[in-house]
Chain A
Amino acid sequence: MSTNKECAIFILVICFFLCGTDIHGENSKLRMYGFFDMEAEVSNKDQAGKIWTFDQHHFNLISIYKIDQDFRIYSEVEYEHGPSHNDRDITGKIYLAKAYLEYRYSDALKLKFGKFLTPFGIYNERHDATPTFLTTKLPHVLYGKHELAPGVSGRYYAKISTGIQVLGQIYSNKWEIGYKAFISNGRGAKPSEVDDNPNKGVGVRLTLEPPNIDLKLGASFYSDRNGLSHNARQESFGTDFEIDYGNLHFEGEALWVNLEKYDSSFVLTGTMNREFGNYFLVAYTIKDRLTPMVRYEYQNHGFEYDETERLVLLGLNYAVNERVFFKNEFHIQNLHKGDNSRHIMYVTSIAVAF
């Protein structure tokens, strides 16, 4: 079936739900949300980077269908890079980012069945919802693509998982304690359809919010045998914090990664390459609208190879209104891979939530 037909069917299904429901008030079964963004960037990294480039990056539609008080279906379809699939050209991407059934037994115990964003770090579950980010680009160390195997790049954990998740929130002595644990197919050629190996992807995320202070602490773990990297064992452990004090906002994350090595014949050796990275961000919001910020990132791509990367971001986020955000940022990147190279990138974007 062509992608155009898939899109048409999706829109028809949405129209069907909308026709049959009142979309406001308690009786509404269906709620629709979404976001849109457009970016422009230029850098002095290479000749291609020196050309100003516009990117209609995301257009995502989220639908939440409440079956009853305890069951709901959550789905998100992403149209990335202004997709156009026709006889002449195939550009951009259209894919189902999330689709799961959620059952709520209580606030402390819920279950998700289906395809969901892996609960890892502060941002992964928000997916590409750029209106909720202060910056246009998320920290590369946690949310960027890295070389996991020759010719294979991706995040250090599965961005999206298909399986079962158990989650909940417990309130005790004024502390908010959240947990999420899941089992999935892990990464592979068709991760939402088939598991490439008998080892499942597993992960846990814990969050803690103490009373009387606007602080959130988190820890995440993910492990699988990556079907895209010759079934090498890959493990990631991350910690994070977010704290707000008046108009000041601090956040930071650290990540430790173990990537199983293999020899020139792609036979797994059982030994691990260890990588580490972290970032810190400080932002100050003026009159609820203007937020200047600084972010510092560091990454060591492998202690054995002494490959390090440092990135400083200077940015300004302007809230045009509650749903429209205009962002500007400079990325100053230092790479140390035998040669010490530095390049600067300027990124601007507009992000809208609806």
Chain B
Amino acid sequence: MVTTQVKIGSINLLISLLVLIGFLSGPAWGQIAVIVHPGSEIDDISSEQLSRLYLGNTTNLSDGQSVYLMENSQLAIEFYKVTLNLSVSKFRRHWMKLVFSGAYAQPPDPYRSDKKIIEEVAANEGAICFVDIESVTEEVKVVSIDGLKPNQKLYLFPPPKSDKPESGSK
């Protein structure tokens, strides 16, 4: 009987610790924002167009500018899952097929640092990438997706679970 109580107590303690760790660790990323060059004529992009760009089905942005695709490696899993319903490995295999079969579209260049991404997007007119909304500066333009800006309800990328209360669009 005593042994059983000790076992139950240990399990409860373990569960409590796991729950506590979950609360303390918080989300690994903030809400995703899609960014373009500040001089771009694009203010809004459809989720369909975003998907066609990242699948290599089109090589132009809606303003006619030739696209330069970039990838934020830290957010790639979430971004490709939401926009393309693909895992990163399936996404890589898709591009491998395109490159080796001679498709005109070029795979996104991967970057790990938000700062570097913002520098590159600010420097290239056709650049498009996705970053954590918290790291966006005035050097780049955040575009709405299907008419909705980050932090608005029904925005394509949901906010992290422990995000701050809704405070309007950024």
**Partner-B contacts on A (CB < 8 A):** 24-26, 31, 33, 35, 62, 64, 69-70, 72, 74, 98, 102, 104, 106-107, 110, 116-117, 125-127, 129, 131-132, 169, 171, 174, 176, 288-289, 319, 322-323, 353
Contact = CB atoms under 8 A, between A and B. Distances in A.
A102 B102 CA distance: 10
A25 B58 contact: no
B65 to A, nearest CB: 9
Contacts of A110: 104
Contact of A288 (B66, B89, B97): B89
Given A25-B120, A129-B96, A132-B100, 15 more contacts: A25-B109, A26-B68, A26-B120, A33-B99, A62-B99, A64-B106, A69-B66, A104-B104, A116-B102, A117-B102, A132-B96, A171-B52, A176-B57, A288-B89, A323-B92
6 contacts: A25-B109, A106-B60, A107-B58, A125-B102, A132-B97, A176-B57
Contacts of B93: 132, 322
A323 B95 CA distance: 12
Contacts of A74: 102
A6 B96 CA distance: 28
Contact of B89 (A35, A106, A126, A319): A319
Interface centre among B68, B101, B127 (most CB of A within 10 A): B101
Contact of A171 (B57, B68, B124): B57
Contacts of A33: 99-100
A169 B102 contact: no
Contacts of B66: 69-70
A126 B97 contact: yes
B31 interface: no
B47 interface: no
Which are the 9 A-B pairs with shortest beta-carbon distances? Answer: A129-B100, A125-B101, A69-B66, A26-B124, A322-B92, A26-B68, A126-B101, A288-B89, A132-B97
Nearest to A107: B58
B88 A322 contact: yes
B59 interface: yes
Contacts of B109: 24-25
A275 to B, nearest CB: 26
Interface string B30-64: 00000000000000000010001000011110000
B148 to A, nearest CB: 21
Interface centre among A26, A110, A125 (most CB of B within 10 A): A26
A107 B99 CA distance: 16
Contacts, number: 69
Contacts of A171: 52, 57-58
Contacts of B59: 104, 107
Nearest to B127: A26
Nearest to A178: B57
B100 A62 contact: yes
Nearest to A24: B109
A108 to B, nearest CB: 10
B74 interface: no
B57 A31 contact: no
A104 B66 CA distance: 11
B101 to A, nearest CB: 4
Contacts of B48: 174
Contacts of B89: 288-289, 319, 322
A107 B67 CA distance: 12
Interface string B94-125: 00110111101010010000000000100110
A35 B100 contact: yes
Contacts of B101: 117, 125-127, 129
A288 B52 contact: no
Contacts of A69: 66
Interface centre among A106, A127, A132, A353 (most CB of B within 10 A): A132
B90 interface: yes
B152 interface: no
Contacts of B87: 288
B104 A102 contact: yes
Contacts of A319: 89
Interface in B60-81: 60, 66, 68
Contacts of B100: 33, 35, 62, 126-127, 129, 132, 353
Contacts of A176: 57
A72 B90 CA distance: 27
Contacts of B92: 322-323
A31 B106 contact: yes
A131 B96 contact: yes
A129 B90 CA distance: 16
